[in-house]
Chains A and B, each alone.
Chain A
């Protein structure tokens, strides 16, 4: 007695092929829709803002005359911000990830911490802004400085970096740990010599993507009280500053139509910065990637 009857199989074959095609088409449509939205967005921004792009736009401060408005303060401010956010968030994030993966005993408390970190990654950025306002701006009296905004942004992207670094550390094969411990290496020697070198592509890729998010965030900066119009460059981390998304937000909310083109030009600058950072991430992944 055979359970699979060839006749039935043949009879049903057409129906199965149709369903197969339908789903293939559905998925292609979804991809095409997303691509289309992206293309329209890019076209609108570039066609509107490209005309305003010039060296002057990069070297001028903000102005109430659209044709003189430049992005210098915001661009430099964003770079300052990253100079605070990158070391703070990567050191804290990788440190936490190493602790959670290599040292912490798996138990209820670790599971609880883990769950909270994952949830924190989903908390709206404006909430982190309020936290930064309470702790850094007011309690620690850092004011609306680069340091206060940088710490706030670091908190915002910390969960993302921790999770990415944890995954990178976890993907280092256990056999390599065994080999190292088996030769009498201590935990610290194993982490520094084996685990971190193998995990670094994943850690850096995750960190740079998180930093890209930080450079585009507006809400926490507004809540922390970062000004928009600044006619000087910051000279230290205690100075106040403005950042690219703040400047763009301000321009786009002005009534004059000319400022819309200025905003579009600003968006192009921001996108170039983002693209540059993402390409660093891709470069690092390709350069350091080792297959196990």
Chain B
């Protein structure tokens, strides 16, 4: 008991942490550097990401925000010639450890992509895909997971009568919520969202934003967004990225009302980006 409290105290003493005392951190990134070939895309990133919070990552195009997000579940390694240094601790374990399988990590850390990307299968099969690849074959259990996930993504009522229809037949906003439900079906701990509303109309966007608010009760959410109003509306903390560096990371209200750095202020007031 005592040693545990001491450890937490040591952790909170880290200068990079923000309000560590309140919530445990899910991810701690330390001195992360990433190169695409010779292009130094992420520079000395230090970030602590809290549990059951929505963390928004904002910044102009090419600032490395999507790259950072994809590093958190190691999807970035699908790009050839990526090199990293430093470490990312997920729940106390370095995700770059050679013994840490990417498949295991990605079962804990789900991802929702920029463009809705359902599989060309039925809605049911889309949701059941994750549980099936992890070995669940029992039809009854699958049925339950599908319903629970679709309810979790607030789309059950809209699709419950057409579970066997192709997921391509529904609207883009619905497809994106199917993709969120598909992610919920692997029962993740963290959900990464890479500009999930950039391809959607305002009403669908609103629905996804409301959904994010509900989901943070159970999940830790990290969302990359181009839309500063969106970050202000839905997130608890915001990190501002510029040219591969974290310029500022703080509570969202602090960032938007009283930015510490001039560049953050310029960006959120629309002077560039």
Residues of A at the B interface (CB closer than 8 Å) are 105-106, 173, 175-186, 189, 193-194, 197-198, 290-292
Contacts and interface: CB of A to CB of B under 8 A. Distances in A.
Nearest to B111: A182
A193 B102 CA distance: 19
Contact of A183 (B80, B118, B168, B182): B182
B40 to A, nearest CB: 22
Nearest to B112: A182
A186 B168 CA distance: 24
Contact of B78 (A105, A181, A291): A181
Contacts of B106: 181-184
A291 B78 CA distance: 25
Q: Which 9 A-B pairs have the closest CB atoms?
A: A175-B117, A184-B107, A184-B106, A182-B111, A183-B130, A290-B120, A184-B103, A185-B133, A179-B117
Interface centre among A180, A181, A292, by most chain B C-beta atoms within 10 angstroms, is A181
Contacts of A177: 78
B113 A189 contact: no
A173 B117 contact: yes
Contacts of A185: 103, 129, 133
B249 to A, nearest CB: 25
Contacts, number: 70
Given A106-B80, A178-B75, A291-B168, A183 B117 contact: no
Contact of B113 (A106, A182, A186, A292): A182
Given A106-B80, A175-B115, A291-B168, A182 B129 contact: no
Contacts of A189: 133
B134 interface: yes
A176 B110 contact: no
B119 interface: yes
A186 B132 CA distance: 12
A164 to B, nearest CB: 20
Contacts of A292: 120, 168
A277 B102 CA distance: 44
A183 B107 contact: yes
Interface string B106-146: 11001101010111100000000110011000000000000
A231 B254 CA distance: 93
7 contacts: A176-B117, A179-B113, A184-B102, A186-B103, A193-B129, A194-B119, A291-B168
A178 B78 contact: yes
A267 B159 CA distance: 55
A241 to B, nearest CB: 42
A194 to B, nearest CB: 6
Contact of A105 (B80, B120, B129, B182): B80
Nearest to B106: A184
B104 interface: yes
B66 to A, nearest CB: 12
B186 interface: yes
B113 A178 contact: yes
B104 A184 contact: yes
Given A105-B80, A198-B120, A290-B120, A183 B113 contact: no
B73 interface: yes
A193 B111 CA distance: 19
Contact of A182 (B110, B118, B120): B110
A178 B129 contact: no
A183 B119 contact: no
A108 to B, nearest CB: 14
A53 B130 CA distance: 58
B179 A179 contact: yes
B79 to A, nearest CB: 11
Contacts of A197: 120
A5 B107 CA distance: 64
Interface in B175-228: 179, 182-183, 186
